[in-house]
Structure 1
Amino acid sequence: MTESNNDTLQTWKRDEQWVSRVIQYSSQYNDNTWSANQIIGPPKVYPRYGDLNGAWAQGHRAADEYIIVEFERAVFPDQIDIYETYNPGAVVKVSARNGNDNDWITVWETPSPHTEAHSRIFTVPCSNISSREINQIRLDVNCTAAGSWCEIDCVKLVGYASHRGSSYKELATNLKQLLLNDYLADVFFQLDDEQIIPSYRNILSSRCIYFEQLFDEYPLDNNQPIRIKNISYEAFYQILHFIYTETIEPVLPYTICLELMRNAEEYYLSPIYNEAFMILKKLINKINVVNIFVDSQSSSNDNQQDKIILNDAINLCVEFIQKNRRDVYQSEQIQSLTKDMLLQLIQLVL
């Protein structure tokens, strides 16, 4: 076995886990011995068969019973084991999702239930979702074939936990430290305000087309700082931060958000636009909404980037003002608008 294969095996670890929490359910027989929470943890009834306390029993024995359960760790699933201890065969649909998503993915489904007179472990392969991380499962149960309770003792999720996520976070942290440290830096950028930002050619050129093309004009033997125009130190730093870590810092002034949105296309970094806009959505309030609206408009100065109209930001402001008209209309900021700008805003809000 080669060293690279060893690394691959160490990256993935088979993980078996029982339900850690019940999120929602259709009904339960009672709130203790046959409650929905009985499905939490390892088997308490299996391999025994019968109407035995320690399993989840439905309260209504209907065709549309269900239970949604959660597991402590998200994994790339291999299989789902459902321990049925009374009237197995009632599970008609198994769905899965990651708790961060709203959409369920169907793992397995059958058009009608059946019933068996012995306990069983019903194993559902997850080949159709093996490339997605999940930590929640929904079981749809149809009790009509049994005409009685269809009891489930527990559920086991078997999958693979990837260490790549934690390794990537560690790498991103290390790269951020590299951004803050000018030791061995081989390129320096000088902004309009004369501030200097050190960096590393190999990282920038391999991760961003803009810098790859820029360094063609400034070869390695060039010892002078490279002039970067028409962007603030703070915004340019966030661009480097994104190139190093694939994210921008989560707390930024709205002015920097707008500047990043305007410069995203020039630097061939469209995800920065989306990230900055998401931060802007969280920042907007009754005090700054008018200023954001004004700054999102085209500017009359010579900076071409400032002439870019940010329609997404303008629409965000309009929607916010529509919901908070009285407070915004009474603010000092709206009184400082020019007549033309005020008329434009009112027309958009109406």
Structure 2
Amino acid sequence: MNARIPLLLCVWTFLSFQEIQASIRLWASEVTNFSTQHNSGSHSAKQVLGKPNVYPRYTESPGTWAQLGNQLDRVHFIEVKFPRKLYVSKINIYETYNAGAVVKISVKDGQNQWVDIFSVNHARIIRRARKFSPQIKRFIIPVDELRIEVDCSVARDYVEIDAVEIVGDICPSPFFQIGNSCYLIKKDTVSADEAFARCLLIGGYLANFETLEETMLMKDKLIKMSTKISYFVGGRNINRKKQGGDWRWIKNGTMTQMKYFAFGTGEPNGTDQSPEDCLMFYAAKAYAFNDANCRIKNGGYICEIQNM
């Protein structure tokens, strides 16, 4: 048994640092607010949590969220939360009685305010169960909360929802995931200083590679891309007087000392008289690290955002 543990740890480490791109599906896991519920049990707001247990049947049935019988002449809402934040591309609402009543869907933005991503002027009456997947407005924030509004006044009857699902990714397109971060590779020819600013403008920073595993995975990706372009990343030398420099990763106003050496042969070779204080994956040396002048336009760049 013990002899197998190192192998399992190696497999886990490899998988945890692989590039991940598949979409994720999450079911609502918490009800944070609602305007009404038919009762506190079989037709409570909490019945929308988890996978469907009534769908695809069309029926007035326990196991769904329904409204109070004397409040079927108005719009009601339910607010739900999911296990983690995603950049959402699709929302699925499982309607099992009087479908067609959803008139608005909202998400919470970075200021904790509701932002509408779907709305219609009038509800419909659909006498069948359906998985409602509306066309939603494009938004570029990760979310873990939805507000769904249903108009009961058209049917003058209960509107029953069985489950709510979101589909999305940990990283927003066209970023991709390695480890716990999301990366964007840009081929534009810029200087390191310009690359630094461009990443900030999209809400990120020049990529930090604080572990050798992340560096090797990115290096492998760049080799396979075969662009023959070098790419600036977020390493900076903060002390030209020190032999070999004092290299730090710069991120969100903080500096982290590099804990491994991945420079190519003869690098870093900048001097106080000929400074090369910025860092790049250097194409001519199989994408080993190379120090470079921060002001010369001679590379693309890699931005990073921390996933949620």
Partner residue in 2 for 1:55: 64
- Equivalent positions of 1:100-111 (< 5 A) are 101-111=111-121
List, as ranges, runs of 4+ consecutive aligned residues in structure 1 with deviation greater than 4 Å. Answer: 172-175
Measured in 1, the distance between the counterparts of 2:98 and 2:145 equals 24
Partner residue in 2 for 1:149: 158
Deviation of residue 84 (structure 1)? 0.5
Partner residue in 2 for 1:220: 271
- The question of whether the paired residues in 2 share the 8 Å contact of 1:75 and 1:134 is answered with yes
Deviation of residue 62 (structure 1)? 3.8
- The question of whether the paired residues in 2 share the 8 Å contact of 1:78 and 1:127 is answered with no
What's the % identity of the aligned pairs? Answer: 30
- Equivalent positions of 1:87-106 (< 5 A) are 87-98=98-109, 101-106=111-116
Partner residue in 1 for 2:180: 166
- The question of whether the paired residues in 2 share the 8 Å contact of 1:78 and 1:125 is answered with no
> TM-score normalised to the size of structure 2?
0.53
Deviation of residue 73 (structure 1)? 1.6
> TM-score normalised to the size of structure 1?
0.47
Measured in 2, the distance between the counterparts of 1:63 and 1:157 equals 26
More strand per residue: 2
Deviation of residue 21 (structure 1)? 0.6
Pair 1:21-2:35 in alignment: no
Deviation of residue 164 (structure 1)? 5.8
Pair 1:77-2:88 in alignment: yes
Larger Rg: 1
State which of 224, 230, 246 in structure 2 corresponds to 1:199.
Answer: 246
Deviation of residue 22 (structure 1)? 0.5
Query: How big is the alpha-carbon RMSD for the aligned residues of Structure 1 and Structure 2?
Result: 3.7
Pair 1:33-2:42 in alignment: yes
Structure 1 gap segments, 5+ residues each:
1-8, 176-183, 190-197, 208-218, 223-242, 245-350
- The question of whether the paired residues in 2 share the 8 Å contact of 1:13 and 1:161 is answered with no
Deviation of residue 125 (structure 1)? 2.9
Partner residue in 2 for 1:258: none
Pair 1:187-2:240 in alignment: yes
Closer, same or farther: CA 188–35 of 1 in aligned 2, 3 Å: farther
**Aligned residue pairs: how many?**
188
More helix per residue: 1
Partner residue in 1 for 2:52: 43
Deviation of residue 135 (structure 1)? 1.1
